[in-house]
C-alpha cells in the first residue's frame, strides 16, 4: 500500500500569499517522472496542505495508470467558491505559479472552465478551457461522469449486478454527480437519491434526472425537487441501492458509516472519498469499491487530450478505452489475489512511476 511517504513524492509543497490581500493558496507537485504534473485547483474555505498533498498523490496514481504523459499535482485556493473576489484570486494565483512550469492547473471543486480561462489569460498554461478559446470543457461535456458510467459497465460484472435497472444514489450533485447520473440513466440505471450541501432528495421509484439537473442549476439545490422525500445529507450513505457514487468532499465514507452502506458497488467519483479503514470494512462486507484514480479518471484524460490538442471524439474514446481496461485489470487482480481494489490499482500505478523514476539522474 502506498502510504503518504517520500518514496515517489511530494517533490514540491508551496504556500502562496499575496501582500495587502487575504489571498492564500497551496500548490503541491507530487511527482513529475512521467511528465509535467497536472491537477485541479480546489477552491474551498477548508482546504488544507494535507488534503492537497493527498489529492496530488491521487493525481500521480491516476495519470500513471491512465498511461498519460503527466505526473500528479494539485492546488487549493483557501476561499469561498462564491467569493466576489474569485477572479482576482485566480489572477493572483496564475501570476504566482507562472514559473512553476512543472504544474498544469485544471478545474476541480469550486472552480470551472471560466476560472481556467482567467488562468489562460494570465499565463496560458492550463487545461479544461471553454470551447470558445480552444478547450474541451470537461465539466460541461461531463467527462468524469461519462468515465464513471463506463467503469460501471465493467464493475457490475464483478459485483453480480445488472446495470440496466440498477438503483443509484449520488452524494454531491455537482459537475461530476450530475453527469454520472445522466450517463448512467442512459444505460438504464434509476437514480433514487441525490444530495448536496443543503440536503438529500429520495424517491425509491426513481428521480427524473433531467428535471433534477434543471432544478439544481436554476435553484441551487436538489432539495427543491418536489417529487421525492427530503432527507439529511448523511442519510445518502444508508439507502437501499445498488450503486453509490460519492462525488463531493474527502473522507465522507469512514468507519462510522461504512457498516451501514447497503450498496453492492461504490464508484468513487470524488477524490479520496473513503478512508482506508472504510475501504477495509467495505471489502469485508463484499461491497466492491472502485478507487478514485481508476473510476474518476475521465476528467484528467480529457484535460490531457485538450493539452495535446486532440479532438473531443478522441478524448471520449480514450476515456472509455482506458477506464474499461483498467477497471477490468484491477478487479481481476483484486479477486485473484484477495486484496483491496485500491491495493491492486496502486501496485500497477506505482510500478510505472518507479520505472520512469529509475531513468532519472540520482544524487
Ligand atoms: P462541484 O463543485 O461541481 O460539485 C460538488 C457538489 O458536491 C456540489 O453540488 C456541492 O453542493 C456538493 N457537496 C459538497 N459538500 C457536500 C456534502 N458534504 N454532502 C453532499 N454534497 C456536498 O465539484 P465537482 O467538479 O463535481 O467535483 C466533485 C468531486 O469529484 C471532487 O472530489 C473532485 O476532486 C472530484 N473530481 C472531479 C473531476 C471533474 O472533472 N470535475 C474529476 C475527477 C474528480
The reported pTM is 0.95
Q: For residue 60, give Cα distances in angstroms to 12, 232, 311.
A: 13, 34, 24
Tens digits of per-residue pLDDT, 317-360?
Answer: 999 999 999 999 999 999 999 999 999 999 999 999 999 999 98
Residue 206 buriedness (CB in 10 A; 0-12 / 13-18 / 19+): middle
Write the DSSP symbol of residue 253: B
Instruction: Using alpha carbons only, give the angle 17, 97, 71 rounded to the nearest 5 degrees.
Output: 125
248/238 Cα distance (integer angstroms): 17
Could you tell me the CA-to-CA distances from 148 to 131, 232, 253, 321, 339 in Å, in that order? 23, 25, 18, 12, 22
- Asked whether the beta carbons of 301 and 326 are under 8 A apart, the reply is no
Taking phi over 0 as left and psi of -120 to 50 as alpha, with beta for the rest, 284 belongs to alpha
Phi-psi region of 96 (alpha: psi -120 to 50; beta: other; left: phi over 0): alpha
Q: Is the CB of 11 under 6 A from ligand 1?
A: no
pLDDT category at 1 given cuts 50, 70, 90 is very low
Query: pLDDT tens digit string along 4-15?
Result: 445 899 999 999
- Which residues lie below 8 Å from residue 102, measured CB to CB, with a gap of 6+? 12, 29, 32, 36, 37, 71, 73
Report pLDDT for 363: 65
Hey, whose CA ends up nearest to atom 39 of ligand 1?
A: 299
Q: Are 25 and 75 in contact (CB under 8 A)?
A: yes
What is the arrangement of strands in the sheet containing 103-107, beginning at the earlier edge strand? 12-17, 24-31, 71-78, 37-44, 103-107
Reference 203, options 171, 225, 187, 221; nearest CA is: 225
Averaged confidence pLDDT in the chain:
96
Question: Do residues 140 and 243 touch, judged by C-beta distance below 8 A?
Answer: no
**Residue 251, CA distances (Å) to 59, 77, 276, 301 in order:** 17, 20, 9, 24
**219: which residues sit within 8 A by CB, 6+ positions away?**
none
Query: Which residue's CA is the closest to the ligand 1 atom numbered 36?
Result: 270
Dihedral Cα 18, 21, 22, 23, nearest 10 deg: -40
Name the percent of the chain lying above pLDDT 70. 98
What does the pLDDT read at residue 6?
A: 57
Whether 173 is in the pocket of ligand 1, judged by its Cβ within 6 Å, is yes
Q: Is the CB of 107 under 6 A from ligand 1?
A: yes
Q: What residue owns the CA closest to ligand 1's atom 30?
A: 270
Task: Label residue 318 exposed, middle or buried (CB < 10 Å: 0-12, 13-18, 19+).
Answer: buried
106: Cβ below 6 Å to ligand 1? Answer: no
Report the nearest-CA residue for atom 23 of ligand 1.
109
CA 139 to ligand 1 centroid distance, Å: 11
Q: Is 175 in the pocket of ligand 1 (CB under 6 A)?
A: yes
Q: How far apart are CA 19 and CA 21, in angstroms?
A: 5
Ligand 1 centroid – CA 48 distance (Å):
16
In this structure, the number of other CB atoms found within 10 A of the CB of residue 324 comes to 16
Q: Which ligand 1 atom minimizes the distance to the CA of 216? A: 9
Ligand 1 atom closest to Cα of 198?
Answer: 11
Tens of pLDDT, residues 313-329 = 999 999 999 999 999 99
Q: Cα(209)–Cα(31) distance, rounded to whole angstroms?
A: 39
**DSSP string over 267-336:** E--SSS-B-HHHHHHHHHTT-EEE-HHHHTTHHHHHHHHHHTT--HHHHHHHHHHHHHHHHHHHHHHHHH
pLDDT, tens digit, for every residue of 38-54? 999 999 999 999 999 99
3-state secondary structure of 360: coil
Query: For the segment 181-217, what is each residue's pLDDT rounded down to a tens digit?
Result: 999 999 999 999 999 999 999 999 999 999 999 999 9
Residue pair 207/191 in contact by the 8 Å Cβ criterion: yes
Query: Which residues are marked as active site?
Result: 74
Amino acid at each position: 500500500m502506498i502510504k503518504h511517504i517520500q518514496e515517489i513524492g511530494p517533490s514540491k509543497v508551496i504556500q502562496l500569499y499575496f501582500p495587502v490581500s487575504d489571498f492564500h493558496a497551496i500548490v503541491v507537485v507530487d511527482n513529475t517522472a512521467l511528465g509535467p504534473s497536472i491537477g485541479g485547483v480546489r477552491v474551498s474555505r477548508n482546504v488544507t496542505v494535507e488534503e492537497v498533498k493527498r489529492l496530488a498523490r491521487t493525481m500521480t496514481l491516476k495519470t500513471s495508470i491512465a498511461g498519460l504523459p503527466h505526473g500528479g499535482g494539485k492546488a487549493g485556493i483557501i476561499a469561498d467558491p462564491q467569493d466576489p473576489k474569485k477572479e482576482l484570486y485566480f489572477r493572483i494565483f496564475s501570476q504566482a505559479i507562472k514559473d512553476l512550469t512543472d504544474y498544469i492547473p485544471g478545474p476541480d471543486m469550486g472552480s470551472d472552465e471560466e476560472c481556467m480561462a482567467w488562468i489562460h489569460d494570465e499565463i496560458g498554461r492550463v487545461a479544461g478551457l471553454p470551447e470558445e478559446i480552444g478547450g474541451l470543457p470537461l465539466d460541461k461535456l461531463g467527462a468524469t461522469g461519462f468515465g464513471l458510467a463506463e467503469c460501471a459497465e465493467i464493475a457490475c460484472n464483478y459485483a453480480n449486478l445488472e446495470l440496466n435497472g440498477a438503483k443509484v444514489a449520488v452524494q454531491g450533485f455537482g459537475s461530476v454527480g450530475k453527469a454520472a447520473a445522466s450517463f448512467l440513466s442512459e444505460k438504464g440505471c434509476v437514480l433514487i437519491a441525490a444530495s448536496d450541501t443543503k440536503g438529500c432528495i429520495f424517491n425509491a421509484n426513481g428521480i427524473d434526472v433531467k428535471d433534477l439537473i434543471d432544478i439544481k442549476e436554476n435553484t441551487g439545490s436538489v432539495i427543491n425537487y418536489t417529487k421525492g422525500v427530503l432527507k439529511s445529507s448523511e442519510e445518502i450513505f444508508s439507502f437501499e441501492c445498488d450503486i453509490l457514487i460519492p462525488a463531493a468532499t474527502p473522507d465522507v465514507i469512514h468507519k462510522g458509516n461504512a457498516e451501514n452502506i447497503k450498496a453492492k458497488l461504490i464508484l468513487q467519483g470524488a477524490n479520496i472519498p473513503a478512508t482506508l479503514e472504510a475501504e477495509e470494512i467495505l471489502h469485508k462486507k463484499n461491497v466492491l469499491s472502485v478507487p478514485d484514480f481508476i473510476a474518476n479518471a475521465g476528467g484528467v484524460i480529457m484535460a490531457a487530450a485538450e493539452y495535446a490538442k486532440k479532438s473531443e471524439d478522441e478524448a471520449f474514446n480514450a476515456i472509455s478505452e482506458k477506464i474499461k481496461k483498467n477497471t477490468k485489470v484491477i478487479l481481476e487482480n483484486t479477486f485473484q489475489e484477495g486484496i483491496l481494489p485500491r491495493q491492486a490499482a496502486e501496485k500497477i500505478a506505482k510500478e510505472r512511476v518507479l520505472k520512469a523514476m529509475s531513468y532519472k539522474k540520482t544524487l
